Structure 1
Amino acid sequence: MCTSPGVAYDLGYHVVWCPKYRRPVLEGRVKDRLEELIRAKADEPGWEIVALEVMPEHVHLFVKSHPKNSPSYVANQFKGFTSHHLRAEFPHLRSPLPTLWSRSYFVATVGAVPAETVQRYIDTQDERPSKGGGRA
């Protein structure tokens, strides 16, 4: 539970997004840098990253934020910031993709299930067999 003047809150969002055309470009140095950028972006407004898993073709993020930040704002802050920096640092991400991220994303508030369940789901993504063609 977090507090600020006049409010107590515990808001967690499970956010999932993919590269354009779901290309598997989030590997190696790109993956490592993406994780650094996500953590840096979360630090700016004081958001807490509970779990983060970067797969080759999508990102799972469980983040806690202040109630003044809408889920769409949170998702778009991460997508915009990371796209700008990754495309500047890795030129190979500019040529095959008109934009780094798809315009779509999935976001769910964490409340219907315990936060630990969402964290466990994200933490075990790399242990799950790929369904081939499934959506995030």
Structure 2
Amino acid sequence: MAREVRVSAGGAYDLGYHVVWCPKYRRPVLTGPIAARCDELIRTKCDEHGWQVIALEVMPDHVHLFVKARPIDSPAHIANQLKGFTSRVLRAEFPSLRSRLPTLWSRSFFVATVGAVSAATVRRYIDTQYERPWRKGGPS
């Protein structure tokens, strides 16, 4: 993946973030139509904010996202916007999520800037989540 430098009125930037978050109690609730809808909602919210989704994988018990954003968008803002939006919509559309969990997402998240390793390495890591030997089954 070649470096894609964007230019704004104040400068040039190439900011990539690897963001991971989990459902409350790390319950494996992100399967089937819930996982598909979660993927769709994340992409919609990223488009709305102008964030570029490089790689996205919705696993049964966590979400991996590699996203490129502007300097004015902090990693915490990105994670909180995505978690809040997806939680509200998914819990409204899938009542089973309301009955099984007090909240959809845990309060925490992991974020790393993509710089110490290449963007291609992070993308390959996210794209091959289901190929890990300790993973049982594939995408639902």
Q: TM-score range by the shorter chain?
A: over 0.9
Question: Which residue is 1:7 aligned to?
Answer: 11
Give, as a single letter, the amino acid of the residue that structure 2 aligns with 1:89.
E
Structure 1 residues not aligned, in runs of 5+:
none
Match of 2:118 among 114, 119, 123: 114
1:52 is aligned to 56
User: Within 5 Å, which residues of 2 pair with 1:40-79?
Assistant: 40-79=44-83
Partner Cα separation in structure 1 for residue 94 and residue 11 of structure 2: 42
**Shift in Å, 1:129:** 2.9
Matching residue within 23, 27, 42 for 2:27? 23
**Cα shift at 1:118:** 0.3
| 1:80 matches 2:84 | yes
Letter of the aligned partner of 1:121 in structure 2?
Answer: Y
2:49 match: secondary structure: coil
CA–CA distance in 2 between the matches of 1:40 and 1:65? 15
SS in 1 for 2:100: coil
Task: Provide the aligned C-alpha RMSD in A.
Answer: 1.2
TM-score, with structure 2 as normaliser? 0.91
Following superposition, the deviation at residue 131 of structure 1 comes to 7.1
Q: Secondary structure at the match of 2:134?
A: coil
Aligned residue type for 2:85: F
Identity of aligned residues (%): 70
Moved over 3 A (4+): none
Q: Secondary structure at the match of 1:39?
A: helix
TM-score, length-scaled by structure 1: 0.94
Cα offset, 1:42, TM superposition: 0.2
Q: Deviations over 1:72-127 (max 9, x none)?
A: 11111110010000000000000110000001110000011100000000000011
Q: Indicate the residue corresponding to 2:38 in structure 1.
A: 34
Q: Deviation digits for residues 26-81 of structure 1, max 9, x if unmatched?
A: 00000000000000000011100000011100000000000001111111111001
Q: What's the CA shift for 1:4? A: 1.2
Looking at structure 1, the residues matched to 108 and 135 of structure 2 have their Cα atoms a distance apart, in angstroms, of 20
